[in-house]
Amino acid sequence: MKVLHVINSLGIGGAEKLITETLPLYNKAGITADLVLLRGVETHFLEELRNKNCCKIYILGKSSPYNPLFILQLIKIFRNYELIHSHLFPSTYFCILAKLFSRISAKVVFTEHSTSNRRFRITYLKPINNWFYKKFDKIICITEGVKAQVLKQTKSPENKLIVINNGLDIKKYEDAEPMDRKTLHPSLQKEDVLLVQVSSFRPQKDQITLIKALSLLPPNVKLLLVGEGDLKENCCELVKEMTLENRVLFFGNRIDVAIILKTADIVVLSSIYEGLSLSSIEGMASGRPFIASNVLGLKDIVSGAGILFE
């Protein structure tokens, strides 16, 4: 069987991480699985996948993923595959349009990775979104909560939806060894209490709440934020306004996340909403105390194994 995954890019995110970790597993099952990136920005996930040499990677462009001409390229590529698996917008829409225009026989499935998106919330987009959802052969929901939202927000028949939880190689996080605090960052002291959040900087992840909460805690409590994103600069400015420069550390994207989590005293995640957070699973797999916001996609996982806050 030949499977093709299609996603916008391999930037930092749960869907991107899932693809990076699961694509190499197809070969072990005797399945050919390749990947299309609408935007071939260089990231450590893309580098990691290339180094594994497990699949063919098609890169359609280098800048915006919203180029409708990508549909023409997808039509040519799709003819070589039996199953098309799309992730995230606009990849999802492009895959359906490419199938309709090419009239290929391949099945097209889609994984819904979140309990919320703009197309659920904006009234005039709902009819368009519902039309696309009806065209998928199957919709994979990463949690029961995601499935409930898809049923609520779209007119997809329930028999088209299937729940498959995200997976993770937890042994990598269980077996990681903590590094010396000074090696992690020269300003860290042995007596510091280190909080770590691993997530991209976008509204959903709500690092701003963590930064504000930090100002209410003792001065030896430090916050380490791992990730990149459009809102990172806003968070940096807030840190300066609150004179927390010596207590908030910005680490950017890292490939040693397992080691950083193991070095933390507490792992946190302040998301406003989630699908099924791989960061939460990573945090708990590290064996560190875990604190997360009480929202769908987190409370399902964390309840009974960590602390939830409103």
Question: What is the per-residue pLDDT for 298?
Answer: 84
Alpha-carbon distances of 20 from 10, 169, 197, rounded to whole Å: 8, 12, 21
What is the number of other CB atoms lying within 10 angstroms of the CB of residue 216? Answer: 7
As a residue count, the chain comes to 310
- Residues 37-65 pLDDT 10s: 999 989 889 999 999 999 999 999 998 99
User: CB of 6 within 8 A of CB of 86?
Assistant: yes
Q: What is the mean pLDDT of residues 190-210?
A: 94
Residue 84 pLDDT exceeds 90: yes
Question: What is the per-residue pLDDT for 110?
Answer: 97
Q: Can you read off the two tokens belonging to residue 137?
A: 């052969």
Question: What is the per-residue pLDDT for 209?
Answer: 95
Question: What is the per-residue pLDDT for 116?
Answer: 77
- Residues 144-188 pLDDT 10s: 889 999 999 998 999 999 999 888 888 889 999 999 999 999 999
C-alpha 244/C-alpha 263 separation (Å) is 21
Higher pLDDT, 280 or 5: 5
Q: What is the mean pLDDT of residues 273-279?
A: 80
Q: Using CA of residue 283, residue 285, residue 288, residue 293, what is the dihedral sign?
A: positive
Sheet holding 161-163, edge to edge: 57-59, 32-37, 2-7, 83-87, 107-112, 138-141, 161-163
- Mean pLDDT (the chain, rounded): 92
Percent of the chain topping pLDDT 90: 72
Instruction: Give how far the C-alpha of residue 67 lies from the chain's centroid of Cα atoms, to the nearest Å.
Output: 22
Q: Residue 226's pLDDT band (boundaries 50, 70, 90)?
A: very high
C-alpha 44/C-alpha 254 separation (Å) is 8
List the domains of the chain with CATH numbers. Answer: 2-163 (3.40.50.2000), 171-309 (3.40.50.2000)
Question: What is the per-residue pLDDT for 295?
Answer: 87
Residue 71 pLDDT exceeds 90: yes
For residue 292, what are the β-bridge partners? 269, 308
Question: What is the per-residue pLDDT for 160?
Answer: 96
Percent of the chain topping pLDDT 70: 100
Highest mean predicted confidence (pLDDT) among 62-66, 100-104, 216-220: 216-220
Residue 262 pLDDT exceeds 80: yes
Considering just the CA atoms, what is the radius of gyration of the chain in Å? 20
Question: What is the per-residue pLDDT for 77?
Answer: 97
User: CB of 35 within 8 A of CB of 23?
Assistant: yes
Q: Residue 191's pLDDT band (boundaries 50, 70, 90)?
A: very high
Q: Residue 75's pLDDT band (boundaries 50, 70, 90)?
A: very high
Residue 36 φ/ψ, nearest 5 degrees:
-110, 130
What is the number of other CB atoms lying within 10 angstroms of the CB of residue 143? Answer: 24
- Residues 110-150 pLDDT 10s: 999 988 777 887 888 889 999 999 999 999 999 888 999 99
Residue 247 pLDDT exceeds 90: yes
Question: What is the per-residue pLDDT for 303?
Answer: 72
Predicted TM-score (pTM) of this structure: 0.80
Residue 223 pLDDT exceeds 90: yes
Nearest CA to 154 out of 131, 172, 174, 187 is that of 131
Residue whose tokens read 């979104």: 129
Alpha-carbon distances of 137 from 101, 140, 147, 280, rounded to whole Å: 16, 10, 15, 30
